[in-house]
């Protein structure tokens, strides 16, 4: 299992780097570090989280540069973005297969689920060509639910 997880991280990192290269970006150590950060992250990261992490290794990096890269990577489709209670956050796009997520509002842990509601949607106009969709369910994971109910 650990080896499978390591392969997933490597594959995600390579996907992000390939997308950068395809857009003509120079593949610098800093950009590889950014790709690795998202490949290894287990949940969503705010621009500030990314900036704080990158600044440890690259003290001269600016917040504007980090934010611009996040937006561009999102536009490329290798990062997903979402607005949570405390603002905009990003995570590496799940590339293995089509699925959706349960997202904990407290710890922001994401749990994939395989059911796709689009397959059962009624009322979508026949002349509307759907090219993409997202479906997320927000709530509390068992750990956060038990913490909240014990307070």
The CA dihedral of 77, 96, 87, 69, to the nearest 10 degrees, is -40
Does 5 carry a binding-site annotation?
Answer: no
Does 141 carry a binding-site annotation?
Answer: yes
| Coil, helix or strand at residue 130 | coil
Q: What is the DSSP letter of 120?
A: G
Using CA atoms, how far apart are residues 29 and 36, in angstroms rounded to an integer? 10
Using CA atoms, how far apart are residues 37 and 9, in angstroms rounded to an integer? 10
The two three-digit tokens of residue 25, written as one number: 């970006």
Does 133 carry a binding-site annotation?
Answer: yes
Does 94 carry a binding-site annotation?
Answer: no
Q: Collect all residues with Cβ–Cβ distance below 8 Å to 14 and sequence separation of at least 6.
A: none
Q: Where are the alpha helices (DSSP H) in the chain?
A: 2-22, 29-40, 47-57, 63-76, 142-149
- Among all chains, which residue has been given the structure tokens 């790709």? 35
Does 120 carry a binding-site annotation?
Answer: no
Annotated binding site: 98, 104, 107, 133, 141, 144
Binding residues for Zn(2+) are: 104, 107, 141, 144
Query: Annotated binding residues for Fe cation, as ranges?
Result: 98, 133
């Amino acid at each position: 299992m650990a080896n499978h997880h390591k392969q997933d991280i490597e594959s995600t990192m390579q996907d992000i780097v390939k997308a950068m290269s395809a857009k003509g970006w120079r593949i610098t150590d800093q950009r590889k570090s950014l790709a690795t950060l998202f490949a290894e992250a287990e949940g969503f990261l705010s621009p500030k989280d990314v900036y704080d992490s990158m600044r440890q290794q690259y003290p001269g990096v600016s917040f504007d540069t980090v934010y611009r890269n996040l937006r561009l990577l999102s536009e490329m489709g290798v990062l997903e973005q979402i607005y949570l209670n405390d603002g905009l956050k990003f995570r590496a796009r799940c590339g293995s297969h089509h699925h959706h997520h349960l997202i904990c509002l407290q710890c922001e842990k994401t749990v994939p689920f395989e059911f796709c509601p689009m397959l059962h949607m009624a009322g979508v106009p026949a002349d509307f060509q759907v090219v993409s969709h997202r479906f997320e369910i927000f709530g509390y994971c068992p750990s956060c639910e038990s913490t909240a109910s014990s307070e």
